[in-house]
Amino acid sequence: MELLSDLTSKLKLIEEQFLLISNKSTIKNELATMTKDLVEIKQLQNDIHLVLEQSRNVLLEEYEELKEFIFKTTGLMLYALEQIENKKATTGNNKNEKSPQFLNIPSTSTSTLHHKSPKSPGVMKTPLSSIPASRLAVNIYSKSPLIRKRTTKLMFTDFEAEINEEDFKQIPSYIRGRITISELQNFLNNVLIHCFNQKYEIFYKNRACLTTREFQLQQIFQSQASYFDGYFITVGDLARTQNRNIDKKDEKYLQNLRFLKIIKEERKNSAQCYIWMKKF
């Protein structure tokens, strides 16, 4: 019986081999078709990947443009609202009470702005109600009621700089590279100065007005306060402002700004810092 079973199995194998041999040409054609289809599928896969990558790049560009537009629009809206509040406060103070006195804020002209140390005392001259809430000196802000205001987007007069064509042309070509004056000014305004403004607004803000994250940042800022006498930020602050690490193009911008003596790079306790140097 066992021998008969083995013979039956062998016969079945022989039948299958004959069947394969008789259909060899058909199987060969099917394999060729499958191979061709596989090549086409791989090409299609590559094309889809390329289209997705291109779409991703376009969306990233649109996202950055939209983010910049929202940031600028929000700043303008906050400035307008604060101007309205200031006018109301000024009207009320003129009728009923005398306003507290603070340091006079210079004109917006860059020729009249002065750099102050974070610890320098203020001279009381001008009422706070007459100062635009979104633009004032850091040392005035540190003594003003604004430190107890939860939501403020301030632009400090200590961190104002404009790059003119003459100064830009003085940058050696090997430092400047392909950077344009508008690109450099845009980085200065929307990244570097924005980062300084964010830091020193949080630095002096009242604890009750801070979120948990802002309070953590305030503790970090205050622990670093002894690093230098003037205003400064770290490379970590810049990364946090941009929600990404500093890349080669950012380093190129910073190199140009160092040449123009707007900032100076120093290291302290392994921290890479950028000190505000521009004076008018």
Question: pLDDT for 178-209, tens place per residue?
Answer: 999 999 999 999 999 999 999 999 999 999 88
Instruction: Say which CATH superfamily domain 69-276 falls into.
Output: Ska1 microtubule binding domain-like (1.10.10.1890)
Q: Which is higher by pLDDT, 33 or 18? A: 33
Q: Per mean pLDDT, which range of 24-33, 158-167, 204-213, 251-260 is the poorest? A: 24-33
pLDDT at 39: 85
**Integer CA distances (angstroms), 195 to 25, 95, 190, 241, 245, in order:** 72, 39, 8, 6, 14
Residue 57 structure tokens: 């790049």
Confidence grade of residue 75 (pLDDT, cut at 50, 70, 90) = low
Q: Which is higher by pLDDT, 31 or 125? A: 31
Say which residues have a Cβ less than 8 Å from residue 273's Cβ, sequence separation at least 6.
227, 228, 232, 233, 234, 235, 265, 266, 267
* Residue 27, pLDDT above cutoff 60: yes
Q: Which is higher by pLDDT, 220 or 99? A: 220
pTM: 0.54
* Residue 69, pLDDT above cutoff 90: no
What letter would DSSP give residue 155? E
Say which residues have a Cβ less than 8 Å from residue 79's Cβ, sequence separation at least 6.
132, 134
Q: Rounded mean pLDDT of the chain?
A: 79
Largest CA distance in the chain: 120
Measured CA to CA, the distance from residue 241 to residue 26 in angstroms comes to 65
Best-predicted range by mean pLDDT (35-49, 110-124, 128-142, 216-230): 216-230
Say which residues have a Cβ less than 8 Å from residue 39's Cβ, sequence separation at least 6.
none
Q: Which is higher by pLDDT, 65 or 273? A: 273
- In sequence order, the β-bridge partners of residue 101 are 127
pLDDT at 273: 94
* Residue 259, pLDDT above cutoff 50: yes
